[in-house]
Structure 1
Amino acid sequence: MPTALRIGAYRFYFYSHDCGEPRHMHVDRENRSAKFWLDPDVSLAENHGYSRQELRTIERIIRDHRERLCNEWDAFCRGDTGTS
């Protein structure tokens, strides 16, 4: 389960078997978890325990780091290293 980003108490990751799905990230903190789609725009797919306010914070973090998160997904799932 590749971790793409850690910010504060949040861990942004995906499962290796997720590569058959559209790009997305799981976000965990303590016993809470959420899943956000990255394409075509950042949107909440699932929520398990986060408040609406915290979901907005997480969405903002994802938007701020979307390019990096997409690059991490692509590098792992598509073997795209970003080099020619």
Structure 2
Amino acid sequence: MAPTIFREGGFRFFFFSREEARMHVHVNHPDGEAKFWLSPELGLATSVGLSPKQIKEAQNLIAVHLEEIIHAWKTHFPS
């Protein structure tokens, strides 16, 4: 299961239900995909196919929606 958190600018931001415990978000775009760590600070974990500009755009969107993403994470992965 991979619930979508939000879509914006051609990107889909989502989680995989059965993955590692460290807080992160996945990003999908027609050109590629990426994974960003959310803690201890926002940072790129991996990327395939996205340009540096697209990575920066995705990271900026994550920063804007960070509270929403963290809330979705805590709702989806209650501890």
3-state SS, counterpart of residue 33 of structure 1? strand
- TM-superposition CA deviations, 1:36-74 (whole Å, max 9, x none): 001111100000011111111111100010000010010
Match of 1:14 in 2: 15
After the TM superposition, which parts of structure 1 deviate over 6 Å for at least 4 consecutive aligned residues? none
Point out where structure 2 has 5 or more consecutive residues left out of the alignment: none
- Letter of the structure 1 residue corresponding to residue 57 of structure 2: T
Match of 2:39 in 1: 39
TM-score, normalising length: structure 1: 0.86
Percent identical among aligned pairs is: 32
Match of 1:71 in 2: 71
- Work out the CA distance in 1 between the residues paired with 2:60 and 2:10: 15
- Letter of the structure 2 residue corresponding to residue 60 of structure 1: N
3-state SS, counterpart of residue 26 of structure 1? strand
TM-score, normalising length: structure 2: 0.91
Match of 1:2 in 2: 3
- Work out the CA distance in 1 between the residues paired with 2:33 and 2:21: 18
3-state SS, counterpart of residue 16 of structure 1? coil
| RMSD (Å), alpha carbons | 1.2
Structure ranking higher in helix proportion: 1
Point out where structure 1 has 5 or more consecutive residues left out of the alignment: 80-84
Structure of higher CA gyration radius: 1
Offset at residue 8 of structure 1 (A): 2.5
Count matched residues: 78
